[in-house]
Structure 1
Amino acid sequence: MIFDKYISFDKKVIFSVVCSGLWIYFRTAKCYEMIPRMHLFPIIFVMTWTYLNYYEPLFLPIGLIVLTLYPILMSGGLR
């Protein structure tokens, strides 16, 4: 799917695992606010993200980027 001509599936998996490890290591309490309860967008986003991640490992770091940017964009941007 994404970068198939340049990166093997195994290397994509390793890259995704490293990205998730870095995200877990550097997360803050604010990270838990990135997925608000009882909101439709996060439910649909996480379900779609999980599905896509089974087929393309690079969707994990892409999803983490979206999760990081979503609250910033919803609060009015960077300050």
Structure 2
Amino acid sequence: MNDTLHVVEKLTEWRARALEFEREIQKAVLGQARVIRLVTICIFARGHVLIEGDVGVGKTTLLRSASRALGGDFARVEGTVDM
């Protein structure tokens, strides 16, 4: 029973951290709650994310705000066919 309580406390703590992370990103990125949630899941699962989309939809802004919310740096890498 004590182990179950410990797990529930940890999950509650991680959920609070994830929601705070999302709120921080939402300060810079508006109207993209689903994308922000998917990025949050990838980060908390320690996975990778590939973001594709048309020009001007906020991909760079999303990743810049996510890196700042994590306390890290941001560097953009261009991956076009002509490079």
**What range is the shorter-chain TM-score in?**
0.3 to 0.5
Higher fraction of helix: 1
Select the structure of larger CA radius of gyration.
2
TM-score when scaled to structure 2?
A: 0.31
